[in-house]
Amino acid sequence: MNIIVTGSLGNISKPLAQLLIKNGHSVTIISSNIERQKDIEVLNAKAAIGKLEDSNFLTQTFTGADAVYCMIPFDFKEQNPKNHFNKIVNSYVQAIKATEIKQVVFLSGWAADIAGSYNAGPILEQLADIAVAELRPGSFYTNFYGYIGMIKEQGVIMANYGGEDRIAFVSPSDIVIAVFEELTTKFQGRKIRYVASDELTCDEAARILGEAIGKPELKWITITEEQMLNGLLNSGVPEQLAKDLVNMQAATHSGTVYENYLRNRPVLGKTKLKEFAKEFAAVCYQQK
């Protein structure tokens, strides 16, 4: 198959491209950074350099392809993140409708059903005659890297969810397997697939990470929405994005996100948090 992979050489897109190529598929990787071209070509993939917001570029790139993996790069500097999100999703849809692509895998999130979240569903409904798999991964293990400074400075993890709140965590490597399966297995219509590797409370997750870094007493503390919002704003996160993040975390704290997840509970992936904790510890020790 001729498959398009977006996301440049990220922690999902790169190993996905390698897995596809290993299994005999022809892969084109889209990146907005011309400096990535040589690294992409080293993988024996074709590089397409351009912006996802540019539907003409996407149409040209998608022409002749059988399937495409679509994701939305997160931009913490974007002042209107929802408009940015919708613009890219619409660009994808326009390009897919203009070409002969018949199979699409779209990476979403496990909070996509929450009111006010970044939900591509209504836009993807325009692809009625195309097989579309929307993948909804849980909370990425790699998100914990963002807490390293807090752990070292304050000795805790803090968010407006925590404690006994239950979370479906996911390893990027398990997402790669799910995307590969959906890209290379024929299906019809639209489907939603949740992806997770481990189901834990926040306290259990903190204990696992704490033991890995020599801090078995590590706690995950729940702070107020106002405290969380002020913390994000003080760290330079744009106001609208900060409010969106607080709202999604509030839905996590209320249990709404986990309840939706349980209605579509997947078979858990292979990579458990205890395994990721070793990588986390290595990164933690490297950072001053």
Pairing type for strands 103-107 and 26-31 reads unpaired
Q: How confident is the model at residue 239 (pLDDT cuts 50, 70, 90)?
A: very high
Whole-number average pLDDT of the chain: 94
Lowest mean pLDDT among 56-60, 83-87, 89-93, 150-154: 83-87
What are the domain boundaries of the chain? Answer: 2-137+172-195, 198-286
At 123-165, the pLDDT tens digits run: 788 898 899 999 999 999 999 999 999 999 999 999 999 999 9
Q: Which residue has the higher pLDDT, 183 or 129?
A: 183
CATH architecture of 2-137+172-195: 3-Layer(aba) Sandwich (3.40)
Average pLDDT on 83-108 reads 93
Q: At residue 78, does pLDDT exceed 80?
A: no
Q: At residue 115, does pLDDT exceed 60?
A: no
Rounded CA-CA distance 241/7 in Å is 21
Q: How confident is the model at residue 120 (pLDDT cuts 50, 70, 90)?
A: confident
pLDDT at position 282 is 95
Rounded CA-CA distance 98/251 in Å is 37
pLDDT at position 288 is 62
- Give the pair of three-digit tokens for residue 236: 């330079």
Q: How confident is the model at residue 67 (pLDDT cuts 50, 70, 90)?
A: very high
Q: At residue 117, does pLDDT exceed 80?
A: no
Rounded CA-CA distance 5/16 in Å is 8
Q: At residue 41, does pLDDT exceed 70?
A: yes
Q: At residue 266, does pLDDT exceed 60?
A: yes
Counting residues of the chain whose pLDDT is more than 70, the rounded percentage is: 99
Rounded CA-CA distance 89/73 in Å is 11
Average pLDDT on 94-104 reads 94
Rounded CA-CA distance 74/52 in Å is 12
Rounded CA-CA distance 219/207 in Å is 7
Angle of helix 225-234 versus helix 239-254 axis, rounded to 10: 150
CATH of 198-286, one of 3.40.50.1820, 3.90.25.10, 1.10.3720.10, 3.10.20.30: 3.90.25.10
- β-sheet bridge partners, residue 135: 107, 193
Q: How confident is the model at residue 79 (pLDDT cuts 50, 70, 90)?
A: confident
pLDDT at position 88 is 94
At 271-285, the pLDDT tens digits run: 999 999 999 999 998
Rg (CA), the chain: 19
> With the C-alpha atoms ordered 261, 263, 269, 271, is the resulting torsion angle positive or negative?
positive
pLDDT at position 116 is 58
Residues in Cβ contact with 178 at an 8 Å cutoff, skipping those fewer than 6 apart? 135, 137, 193, 195, 269
Q: At residue 74, does pLDDT exceed 90?
A: no
Whole-structure pTM over 0.85, yes or no? yes
- Give the pair of three-digit tokens for residue 224: 């107020």
At 190-222, the pLDDT tens digits run: 999 999 999 999 999 999 999 999 999 999 999
